[in-house]
């Protein structure tokens, strides 16, 4: 029976690679296997499992954060941020690329919607960077990688889902992801500066006369509108969580209201905008929860067949050390990210390996952040990196797929290096949650 559970696991992967819908593959195949190989009474536990998911208070944060992100996308925030940051950093080596990284980090901390961020920055900044003489590989690499920062910088939907699957505090995951996320931002910026210093022709500065002309047009007010207001929203959401004033779900509601007010202040809130935001939120939320329900069914059948016990016993017999097992899982997740989406990895692989990490006595908050860092690369790695697809879809004709694939390599290597640092020194991840728990 345990071997049948492993065959079920492999079958799901094969069908997803063939392009079958994830939610129905997970749930449907699990039910078929259960009908053939399990007692019908095993289905008695399924309704309570499903209701447990639907009534999970933490998961209410998912539609609220999605609403917040889409509302901010409609507000015109990204355009104002990019224009203002470009002028602030315009004379630095690679200043325009640095502004894209900073805007990517701020949008990550205020939206967390990767597709929207990449498309918005691709439409606004890519033509500008190319017009100013930026190397297409550097320009596309910066935009694609900065757009995925929403996977790791809170409030991240990935961290909410990982918290639910690993059964750990989402607030602790948010706190633990802060330092690695901003180290990643610093790494991107350092790479851009070094590239601009070594090859100035790849990242020329903005002409001084253009900067002077922009700064004469109410520059102070522009900075306040573009930078301070979004920063206050980020502070309200994350600050309320870290201060213990609000749970992640309550903070998500604060963020959704704040994003609506910010859109109103920008003069972009009307009936059509609100309708579009609600439709897109409903669509994305339905997709996530359908996959989650399919994953719940798969998890129940897999455990009923003894698949989790089989894996724990196999790892125990192999006498793998905790760090060797962790390395194997991280490599598997990294490779899986080349072919399948992060949501599928969260709901298929993570529930299977979580009991083994627990048996090893490893900190699941730390494990969750390692997964998030690793899953971020799934948006960047060819051939199915969604961030690359999004950017290619809005890029000018002269930007080729080769530019995208070659441009992203240094940023993927940076992420792998920072993941290795987080594995080697867990305190990089855990110091902030420990500090907040002490206080």
Q: Which residue has the higher pLDDT, 298 or 264?
A: 264
pLDDT band at 218 (very low <50, low <70, confident <90, very high): low
pLDDT of residue 339: 66
Residue 42 located in a structural domain: no
User: Could you give the number of structural domains in the chain?
Assistant: 1
pLDDT of residue 275: 92
- CB of 333 closer than 8 Å to CB of 345: yes
Residue 131 located in a structural domain: yes
Section 184-204 average pLDDT: 89
pLDDT at 148 over 80: yes
Which segment of 27-36, 43-52, 75-84, 367-376 scores lowest on mean pLDDT? Answer: 75-84
Residue 43 located in a structural domain: no
pLDDT of residue 114: 67
Full residue range of the structural domain in which residue 195 is found: 2-37+55-438
pLDDT at 111 over 70: no
- Determine whether 68 is exposed, middle or buried from the number of CB atoms within 10 Å of its CB (0-12, 13-18, 19+): buried
CA distance 277 to 91: 37
First to last CA, the chain: 49
Q: What percent of the chain has a predicted confidence (pLDDT) above 90?
A: 10
Instruction: Name which of 302, 295, 288, 374 is nearest 64 in CA terms.
Output: 288
pLDDT of residue 2: 73
Inter-axis angle of helices 364-376 and 342-359, nearest 10: 150
Residue 98 located in a structural domain: yes
Q: What is the mean pLDDT of the chain?
A: 81
Q: Which residue has the higher pLDDT, 383 or 30?
A: 30
Section 273-292 average pLDDT: 86
pLDDT at 72 over 80: no
Section 272-287 average pLDDT: 88
pLDDT band at 205 (very low <50, low <70, confident <90, very high): confident
Instruction: Name which of 394, 411, 369 is nearest 179 in CA terms.
Output: 369
pLDDT band at 214 (very low <50, low <70, confident <90, very high): low
pLDDT of residue 18: 73
pLDDT in tens, 308-344: 677 777 777 777 788 888 998 898 888 877 766 677 7
Residues whose CB is less than 8 angstroms from the CB of residue 310 and which lie 6 or more positions away in sequence, other chains included = 2, 3, 5, 6
Q: Say how many CA atoms lie within 13 Å of 338 toward its Cβ.
A: 7
pLDDT band at 8 (very low <50, low <70, confident <90, very high): confident
DSSP labels for 38-79? S-GGGGGGHHHHHHHHHT-GGGGHHHHHHHHHHHHHHTTHHH
pTM above 0.85, yes or no: no
pLDDT at 439 over 60: no
Tokens 């550097």 sit on residue: 138
pLDDT at 369 over 90: yes
CA distance 22 to 20: 6
Dihedral pair phi/psi, residue 39, rounded to 5°:
-70, 140
pLDDT band at 109 (very low <50, low <70, confident <90, very high): confident
pLDDT of residue 115: 66
CA distance 279 to 210: 40
pLDDT band at 29 (very low <50, low <70, confident <90, very high): confident
Name the DSSP letter for residue 341. Answer: -
Residue 236 located in a structural domain: yes
Residue 46 located in a structural domain: no
Chain centre distance of CA 27 = 24
Instruction: Name which of 253, 289, 342 is nearest 61 in CA terms.
Output: 253
CA distance 88 to 98: 10
Write down how long the chain is. 439
pLDDT of residue 246: 82
Residue 421 located in a structural domain: yes
Residue 49 located in a structural domain: no
- CB of 407 closer than 8 Å to CB of 139: yes
């Amino acid at each position: 029976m345990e071997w049948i559970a492993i065959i079920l696991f492999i079958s799901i992967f094969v069908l997803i690679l063939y392009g079958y819908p994830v939610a129905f593959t997970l749930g449907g195949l699990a039910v078929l296997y259960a009908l053939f190989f399990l007692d019908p009474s095993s289905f008695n536990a399924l309704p309570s499992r499903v209701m447990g998911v639907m009534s999970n208070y933490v998961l209410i944060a998912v539609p609220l954060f999605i609403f917040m992100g889409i509302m901010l996308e409609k507000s015109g925030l990204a355009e104002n941020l990019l224009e203002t940051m470009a002028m602030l950093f315009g004379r630095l080596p690679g200043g325009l690329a640095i502004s894209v990284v900073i805007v990517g980090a701020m949008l990550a901390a205020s939206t967390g919607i990767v597709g929207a961020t990449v498309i918005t920055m691709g439409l606004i900044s890519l033509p500008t960077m190319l017009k100013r003489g930026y190397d297409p590989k550097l320009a596309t690499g910066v935009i694609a990688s900065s757009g995925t920062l929403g996977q790791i910088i809170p409030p991240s939907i990935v961290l909410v889902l990982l918290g639910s699957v690993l059964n750990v505090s989402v607030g602790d995951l948010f706190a633990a992801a802060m330092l690695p996320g901003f180290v990643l931002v610093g790494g991107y910026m350092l790479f851009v500066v070094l590239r601009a210093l070594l090859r100035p022709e790849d990242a020329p500065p903005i002409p001084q006369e253009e900067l002077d002309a922009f700064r004469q047009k109410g520059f102070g007010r522009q900075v306040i509108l573009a930078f301070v207001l979004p920063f206050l929203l980020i502070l309200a959401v994350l600050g309320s969580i870290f201060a213990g004033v609000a749970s992640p779900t309550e903070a998500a509601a604060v963020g959704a209201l704040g994003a609506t007010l910010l859109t109103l202040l920008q003069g972009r809130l009307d009936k059509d905008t609100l309708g579009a935001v609600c439709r897109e939120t409903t669509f994305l939320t339905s997709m996530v929860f359908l996959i989650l329900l399919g994953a719940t069914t798969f998890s129940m059948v897999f455990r009923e067949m003894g698949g989790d016990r089989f894996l724990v016993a196999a790892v125990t017999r192999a006498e793998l050390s905790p760090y060797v097992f962790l390395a194997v899982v991280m490599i598997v997740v990294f490779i899986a990210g080349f072919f399948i989406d992060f949501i599928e990895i969260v709901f298929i692989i993570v529930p299977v390996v979580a009991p083994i990490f627990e048996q090893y006595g490893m900190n699941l908050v730390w494990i969750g952040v390692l997964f998030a860092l690793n899953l971020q690369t799934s948006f960047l790695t060819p051939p199915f990196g969604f961030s690359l697809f999004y950017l290619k879809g809005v890029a000018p004709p002269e930007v080729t797929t080769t530019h995208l694939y070659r441009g992203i390599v240094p940023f993927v290597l940076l992420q792998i290096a920072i993941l290795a640092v987080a594995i080697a020194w867990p305190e990089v991840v855990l110091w902030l949650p420990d500090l907040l728990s002490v206080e």
